[in-house]
Amino acid sequence: NAGVTQTPKFQVLKTGQSMTLQCAQDMNHEYMSWYRQDPGMGLRLIHYSVGAGITDQGEVPNGYNVSRSTTEDFPLRLLSAAPSQTSVYFCASSFGAGTEAFFGQGTRLTVV
Amino acid sequence: EDQVTQSPEALRLQEGESSSLNCSYTVSGLRGLFWYRQDPGKGPEFLFTLYSAGEEKEKERLKATLTKKESFLHITAPKPEDSATYLCAVSGYGGSQGNLIFGKGTKLSVKP
């Protein structure tokens, strides 16, 4: 049972480049979400989805885009990377609101 | 606004020296309070969910308790392998839409 799988694990981007962080889960969870983790800031919610075709913004959505075409996949797109987006990104999934979330191993992104 | 504050930020213990980590929270109707463990370079690993005041959960040397305003993670006779960052999160019925709101964590170091 793979759980939540994120790719890539590491990425370096130049300012202005775009890229997609991939996230897939095999637990048939309805809820999926993206967090970023920065030193001293904790985990902050970027975007989330309550099911296929439904997405919404979290605490820090600017500069990021998401879509959810299937239950399994929830990619995060950086439209034009900025140094402020240097962070560790985590994808998570759960059965629904108020239930425990299971996290992927993270993507460490550096924007230069 | 839902909020989570963890203390202390860092805790150093000798092997076998029991202690407690604190998680204070404010939330518009608690759906659940969650404890996670995070090792360096890894995603958060789920430990416990608590739903109502007075509830307790145990796993090996860890015991989580919940009141209406805070939760404690008690560590009994810790071992060096318990060294990690421990994260607390809440999910509420208010503006957070059932998503997890995280504290900044407590970094625990256990010396042999």
Q: How far apart are CA A74 and CA A53, in angstroms?
A: 10
pLDDT in tens, A73-110: 999 999 999 999 999 999 999 998 889 999 999 999 99
Task: Judge whether residue A1 has pLDDT over 70.
Answer: no
Residue B31 touches chain A, beta carbons under 8 Å: yes
Task: Judge whether residue B69 has pLDDT over 80.
Answer: yes
Tell me if B46 sits within 8 A of A100, measured CB to CB: yes
Q: How far apart are CA B42 and CA A107, in angstroms?
A: 10
Chain A CB contacts of B87 below 8 Å: 42-43
Chain B CB contacts of A60 below 8 Å: none
Residue A56 touches chain B, beta carbons under 8 Å: yes
Task: Judge whether residue B96 has pLDDT over 80.
Answer: no
pLDDT in tens, A24-69: 999 999 999 999 999 988 899 999 999 999 999 999 999 999 999 9
What confidence score (pLDDT) does residue B28 get? 86
Contact between chains at B49 and A99 (C-beta distance less than 8 A): yes
